[in-house]
């Protein structure tokens, strides 16, 4: 896959993951740039598109964590929600869900984003997060409970 195609295919995913961690647009853009810089800085061989995706997710998470450690305090999430309705969910409901997800601790947030927004399996998430599958299942279960309470 060519560099330009990789950015077009995975750019939104990288940005959303970064934004979920760093919680502001400027830092998310920095993480986005750093992630793709690392990808293209040296020749890499990937076995498949899924391998590229998994590598990008892992590097995005690592760069995001580094960005958080490099700044003195966390900022509030200022993500803009796309206009319109999807699957019968109003704009207000989408904002409420995003706010609730953004307030989750990083491991819970990452598991939710990878499972629901990136449609990855528990096994894939476990590999990316470097955690046992049962831990990922527990993270998802607890995150669902927290989101349910938060949204009620």
CATH code of 40's domain:
1.10.1740
Q: Are residues 147 and 94 in the same domain?
A: yes
Confirm if 136 and 122 have CB atoms less than 8 A apart: yes
Q: What are the phi and psi torsion angles at 89 (to 5°)?
A: -95, 125
List pLDDT tens digits, range 101-144.
888 898 898 888 888 877 788 998 888 888 999 999 999 999 99
Q: Which of 45, 73, 101 lies at the terminal end of a domain, its last residue? A: 73
Angle between helices 122-129 and 49-70 (to 10 degrees): 50
Continuous H helices in the chain:
3-22, 25-41, 49-70, 91-102, 106-112, 122-129, 133-151
Please check whether residue 80 lies inside any domain of the structure.
no
User: How many domains would you assign to the chain?
Assistant: 2
CA dihedral 88, 91, 94, 98 (to 10 degrees): 170
pLDDT along the chain (152 residues), means of 10: 90 92 88 93 86 93 81 37 49 73 87 82 88 93 90 80
Q: Which domain holds residue 7?
A: 1-73
SS3 86: strand
């Amino acid at each position: 896959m060519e560099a330009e195609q990789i950015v077009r295919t995975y750019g939104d995913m990288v940005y959303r993951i970064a934004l979920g961690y760093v919680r502001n647009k400027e830092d998310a853009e920095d993480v986005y740039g750093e992630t793709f810089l690392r990808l293209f800085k040296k020749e890499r061989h990937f076995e498949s598109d899924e391998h590229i995706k998994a590598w990008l997710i892992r590097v995005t998470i690592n760069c995001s964590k580094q960005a958080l450690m490099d700044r003195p305090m966390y900022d509030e999430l200022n993500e803009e929600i796309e206009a319109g309705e999807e699957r019968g969910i109003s704009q207000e409901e989408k904002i409420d869900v995003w706010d609730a997800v953004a307030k989750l601790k990083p491991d819970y947030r990452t598991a939710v984003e990878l499972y629901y927004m990136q449609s990855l399996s528990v096994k894939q998430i476990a590999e990316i997060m470097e955690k046992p599958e049962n831990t990922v299942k527990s993270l998802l279960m607890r995150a669902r409970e927290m989101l349910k309470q938060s949204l009620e």
